[in-house]
Amino acid sequence: MNTLNETHDPKLRSWVVSANAAGCDFPIQNLPFGRFRTAGGVDALRIGVAIGDQVLDLRATGLIHTDDMNALMAASPADRQALRAAISAGLAEGSSQQGAWQGALHAQSALEMAVPCRIGDYTDFYTGIHHATTVGKLFRPDSPLMPNYKWVPIGYHGRASSIGVSGQRVKRPRGQTKAPDAAVPSFGPSQRLDYELELGFFIGRGNALGEPIPIQEAEQHLFGVGLFNDWSARDIQAWEYVPLGPFLSKNFASMISPWIVTMEALAPFRAPFERPAGDPPPLSYLDSPANREHGALDITLEVWLQTRKMREAGAPAVRLTKGNAREAAYWTPAQLIAHHTVGGCNLQPGDLLGSGTLSGRKPDEAGSLLELTLGGKNRITLPNGESHTFLEDGDTLTLRGYCERDGAVRIGLGECAGTVLPAVALDG
């Protein structure tokens, strides 16, 4: 586990004035990594660190000599901590680097952000126990959780090629669906398009094929965290997912926030990992003292919606839900890594592990419309009088996340936002 050091000091301030504003997502205590280029440009992507409303071009500072984010992620934990310390010292008030680094700063508003690294493989887990329970009750009221849920971190291999960055538009997918009273399936645009509020965990150092990562070492292989929206077509999913799981209902689009908040930055916001009384303890390969003491992440998560009519009227987005990852997740990131590799699977720098939908116990902590509307039975009424069950064309859906705790400076994960477009017309 990462420990607190001078980079987390609540008294630390930056000569980048916007980083000192109250409620800022990117104070000097955060320093998340991303890839950027000039908006509208064709220049190669560069590695940057968010500081206030600016981005620091790391290569221009001389601290790194590569534009390959995956290579940076593969560095040892000690090298990553040393880089963080150097960035923090250079951005701190009174730093001798201020004059030299001024020219390495770029306004975020003038930049185009990319997926923060090359994502070679993507695995989506199902760690949200309240989500699994609520959705399970829709189909299996008497036994919502499968018998293996509290023993095995459930997951499936997803599609990496369709993962985009926040700000992109999502075309409504087409596929087969089957109404309960229909004799045969039909084909057309999804009518039950949904979001999934997730965290994405990025792998740093990989492991060799056939060599599992013990849970005691798992976090040494974890680079950081981003917001993740696994867009889902619920009607397509209901027809296709038995017996092998989601396919077209998930592969049309997933979305990640542009910044990776490192595990070092999250050190002040770790929490004990506790199972409810009466639940089985994890098997030994999924258990360690450190994981029990500090394995959970105390991250507040929010979902915001702005419809096309709201946007045209100049009305702001409305918050649909607010919850916390610590209370929602039944498994920790370290457990996901230990389980993923226990059979010998080799993870690589930049691989992405989705947490699965992170919902709380209460209805206003739900991480999907499937839960908020109880499968489409209950419509959501918005402040302007519109009502929704699932996402409609023109809707902009935004995920937000942040950490705050007494004795620490608030840090944010930024935003993960996407707008729904109509389905592409098919010839014929």
Shared domain check, 159 and 38: no
289-344 pLDDT, tens digit each: 999 999 999 999 999 999 999 999 999 999 999 999 999 999 999 999 999 999 99
Structure tokens at 24: 């800022």
**How many Cβ atoms are within 10 Å of 306's Cβ, its own excluded?**
19
Report yes or no on 288 lying in a domain.
yes
Shared domain check, 259 and 161: yes
Output phi, psi for 208, to 5 deg.
-75, 150
The average pLDDT across 166-171 equals: 97
Report yes or no on 310 lying in a domain.
yes
| pLDDT range class, residue 122, cuts 50, 70, 90 | very high
Report pLDDT for 139.
83
Structure tokens at 111: 């930049």
Shared domain check, 414 and 362: yes
Name 36's bridge partners: 46, 113
Shared domain check, 183 and 294: yes
388-412 pLDDT, tens digit each: 999 999 999 999 999 999 999 999 9
Element (H, E) at 358: none
- DSSP letter at 50 equals E
201 to 53, 83, 282, 377: CA distances (angstroms): 24, 20, 21, 33
| pLDDT range class, residue 1, cuts 50, 70, 90 | low
Domains in the chain: how many in total? 2
Place of tokens 């595990």: 263
**What is the percent of the chain with per-residue pLDDT over 90, rounded to a whole number?**
96
Structure tokens at 353: 């592990």
Report yes or no on 1 lying in a domain.
no
Is residue 352 pLDDT above 80, yes or no? yes
Active site includes 131? Answer: yes
**Count of alpha carbons within 13 Å of 296, Cβ hemisphere only?**
20
Shared domain check, 337 and 203: yes
Place of tokens 């915001």: 304
Shared domain check, 405 and 329: yes
CATH number at residue 24: 2.30.30.230
Question: What DSSP assignment string belongs to 202-239?
Answer: EE-S---TT----GGGGGGGEEEEEEEE--EEHHHHHH
Report yes or no on 239 lying in a domain.
yes
Domain end (from 83, 114, 145): 114
Per-position b or e across 335-374, b if 16+ CB within 10 A of its CB: bbbbbbbeeebbbbbbbbbbbbbbbbeeeebbbbbbbbbb
Shared domain check, 13 and 147: no
Write down the catalytic residue from 106, 130, 131, 340.
131
Report yes or no on 170 lying in a domain.
yes
Report yes or no on 89 lying in a domain.
yes
Shared domain check, 65 and 126: no
Known binding-site positions for Ca(2+) = 124, 196, 198, 230
Shared domain check, 165 and 224: yes
- DSSP letter at 123 equals E
| pLDDT range class, residue 2, cuts 50, 70, 90 | confident
Report pLDDT for 141.
87
Domain end (from 61, 81, 114): 114
Structure tokens at 398: 């935004």
Known binding-site positions = 124, 126, 140, 196, 198, 230, 237, 241, 250, 254, 357
Identify the burial level of 326 via C-beta atoms within 10 angstroms of its C-beta, where 0-12 means exposed, 13-18 middle and 19 or more buried. Answer: buried
Shared domain check, 174 and 150: yes
47-92 pLDDT, tens digit each: 999 999 999 999 999 999 999 999 999 999 999 999 999 999 999 9
Report yes or no on 427 lying in a domain.
no
Is residue 427 pLDDT above 80, yes or no? no
Is residue 180 pLDDT above 60, yes or no? yes
**Length, in residues, of the chain:** 428
Known binding-site positions for substrate = 126, 140, 237, 241, 357
Q: Identify the sign of the CA torsion 52, 56, 61, 64.
A: positive
Q: Which structural domain, as residue segments, surrounds residue 19?
A: 6-114
94 to 12, 14, 161: CA distances (angstroms): 11, 8, 44
Shared domain check, 237 and 270: yes
Shared domain check, 211 and 311: yes
- DSSP letter at 356 equals -
3-state SS, residue 323: strand
Structure tokens at 58: 């790391």
Domain end (from 114, 148, 164): 114
CA–CA distance, 342 with 162 (Å, rounded to integer): 27
360-374 pLDDT, tens digit each: 999 999 999 999 999
